[in-house]
Amino acid sequence: MFTRFFFLLREKGVPCTITEWLSFLEALNGGFLQTSLNHLYYVGRAFLVKNEAYYDMFDEAFREYFGGIEEIPIDLDRVLEWLADPCHLPPLTEEEMREVMERLGHVKDLLELEKEFLKRLNEQRERHDGGSRWVGTGGTSPFGAYGLHPFGIRVGGESWAQSAVKVAEERRFRNYRNDLILDTRHIKVALKRLRELKREGAMEELDLDETIDKTAREGGEIELVFKRSRENTTRLLLFMDVGGSMVPYAHLCERLFSAASQMEHFKEFRHFYFHNCIYQDLYDDMANVKRIPTDWVLSNFDERYKVIIVGDARMAPSELFEPYGAIDYFYRNEVPGIEWLRRLKERFPSSLWLNPTPKLYWSHPTVEAIGSIFPMFELTLDGLNESIRCLLSKGRRKNFT
């Protein structure tokens, strides 16, 4: 059953496995799923997709497989008008409830019910509440909303009334995809992986093994031994380009910045701005007014700091390679930008460059030159994840040598 749907899901990139598929089928065969598309959509998704990043791909597959099934156009606006501002069904006592149930309790064929619904829609001219025949609210008619009928047709109310295929077509989860531009939440998840736990700080954790060992040695006299608790030791420096060509990406950089500054887990986080390329000065503010000498940064932060530089790395070649090449007329740099970048890389071995422009546009002399100094990644979720893996593995390799 639906086996092609399984392969379609995998084709679309949903990493669902046979185990998951089997338990989905088990639920299906066990009669736990209702035979409705809505149920198949939501519950099936709960079984087969384990990350909201894949919801969109599931939607695509679902639409492709189940699209075009069972939809009948009717004049919904008119019906919804009757259903707006519902009158609620008064709470029933158990006895009343039983009575209603008995009255309504015969199972109708759904097809027949549908036909009847369409027929009644054609006949009905106005609003009806609380009754048992017309489309309305708060009653026991099989048609309408906010009422009570065991096998009725519900119109409007919640998203459930929308067909699953429609929901899938909306593709509401587009923004959760991993390969699209990311939001603050995504960035935070990615940055969190930078955590490095090391034993630092005060001796306040009881070292049980050591305590038992010592106590036994002392012949039963209890000797408590403490050790340092684990702490996050990640130190991060963020350099951001706020030059003219970065304006289209300001929004994206803003998110990265706001995510990074919200990270409470970093031992230290500092950020600096630059314009186009890094020369002898960095800036503390976006308006590039408060100068901080790059040399000061180089001498005050050590190699334990991880460095992320964000910029499009795209400029006139002279701005990067030549002395006095800076774009600002009154700014004179004796040392070319590329040299400053090399110094940064030397000082901070775990450093990398995030580029908000798509990889497609990276064939440019300055982008390539900078890419040969710093590992360069796209500023997308995949790129960010990859870059963080790179930062972490760098750190580890250094420990071996």
Partner 1 sequence: MAVVAFESRRRIRSFTKNYTTIDGRSRLDYNYAQFFTYGGEMGAHLYAGSDEYVVSRPLMEIVNVAIALGKPLLIKGEPGTGKTLLAHSIAKALGKRLIVWNIKSTTKAKDGLYIYDTVQRLNDARFGDKDISDIRRYIRLGKLGQAFVSEEQVVLLIDEIDKADIEFPNDLLNELDEMSFYIPETDELIVAKHRPIVVITSNSEKELPDAFLRRCIFHYIEFPDEAMMERIVRVHFPDIEERLLREAIKKFYMIRAMDSLKKKPSTSELLDWIKALMIGGISPERVASEIPFAGTLLKNEFDVEKIGNLGKGKPAYVRFRS
Query: Within positions 111 to 150, which residues make up the interface with partner 1, using CB under 8 A?
Result: 111, 114, 141-150
Helix (H, G, I), strand (E, B) or coil at 377: strand
Q: Between 233 and 318, name the residue whose CB sits nearer to partner 1.
A: 233
CB of 335 to partner 1, least distance (A): 25
HSE of 63 in the Cβ direction (CA atoms, 13 Å)?
A: 13
- Of the listed pieces 27-35, 306-314, 355-363, 372-380, which binds partner 1 according to CB under 8 A? 27-35
CB of 299 to partner 1, least distance (A): 28
Q: d(Cα 77, Cα 73) in Å, to the nearest integer?
A: 11
- Of the listed pieces 1-9, 29-37, 311-319, 332-340, which binds partner 1 according to CB under 8 A? 29-37
DSSP sequence for 274-309: EBSB--SEEESSTTS-SEEEHHHHHHHS-TTSEEEE
CB of 183 to partner 1, least distance (A): 8
In the list 163, 178, 280, 318, the residue contacting partner 1 (rule: CB under 8 A) is: 163
In the list 123, 126, 158, 264, the residue contacting partner 1 (rule: CB under 8 A) is: 158
- Of the listed pieces 57-65, 82-90, 335-343, 356-364, which binds partner 1 according to CB under 8 A? 82-90
36-55 footprint of partner 1 as x/- string (CB under 8 A): xxxx--xx--xx-xxxx--x
Q: Between 35 and 401, name the residue whose CB sits nearer to partner 1.
A: 35
Chain-centre distance for alpha carbon 107: 45
Q: Which of residues 294-353 bind partner 1 (CB under 8 A)?
A: none
356 lies in the binding site for partner 1 (CB under 8 A): no
- In this structure, the chain runs to a length of 401
30 lies in the binding site for partner 1 (CB under 8 A): yes
Q: Would you say 367 and 318 are in contact if contact means Cβ atoms under 8 Å apart? A: no
Question: Which helix (H) or strand (E) covers residue 160, if one does?
Answer: none
In the list 1, 72, 202, 360, the residue contacting partner 1 (rule: CB under 8 A) is: 72
Helix (H, G, I), strand (E, B) or coil at 112: helix
- Of the listed pieces 5-13, 151-159, 296-304, 354-362, which binds partner 1 according to CB under 8 A? 151-159
In the list 11, 67, 70, 296, the residue contacting partner 1 (rule: CB under 8 A) is: 70
User: How are beta strands 351-355 and 306-310 bridged, if at all?
Assistant: parallel
b/e map 125-141, b = 16+ CB within 10 Å: eebbbbeeebbbbbbbb
In the list 1, 3, 31, 106, the residue contacting partner 1 (rule: CB under 8 A) is: 31
170 lies in the binding site for partner 1 (CB under 8 A): no
CB of 260 to partner 1, least distance (A): 11
**110: Cβ–Cβ under 8 A, 6 or more apart, which residues?**
151
Q: With CB under 8 A, what is the number of residues at the site for partner 1?
A: 104
Q: Would you say 241 and 276 are in contact if contact means Cβ atoms under 8 Å apart? A: yes
87 lies in the binding site for partner 1 (CB under 8 A): no
Query: What is the torsional sign of CA 218, 220, 226, 227?
Result: positive
84 lies in the binding site for partner 1 (CB under 8 A): no
175 lies in the binding site for partner 1 (CB under 8 A): no
CB of 339 to partner 1, least distance (A): 26
Q: Which of residues 180-209 bind partner 1 (CB under 8 A)?
A: 183-185, 188-189, 192-193, 206, 208
Q: d(Cα 33, Cα 37) in Å, to the nearest integer?
A: 10
Q: Which of residues 273-292 bind partner 1 (CB under 8 A)?
A: 286-288
Q: Which of residues 229-248 bind partner 1 (CB under 8 A)?
A: 242, 244, 246-247
User: How are beta strands 351-355 and 376-378 bridged, if at all?
Assistant: parallel
CB of 97 to partner 1, least distance (A): 5
> CA nearest 252: which of 182, 300, 309?
182
Indicate the DSSP class of residue 179.
T
27 lies in the binding site for partner 1 (CB under 8 A): yes
Helix (H, G, I), strand (E, B) or coil at 351: strand
Count the neighbouring beta carbons within 10 Å of the beta carbon of residue 18: 8
Indicate the DSSP class of residue 71.
-
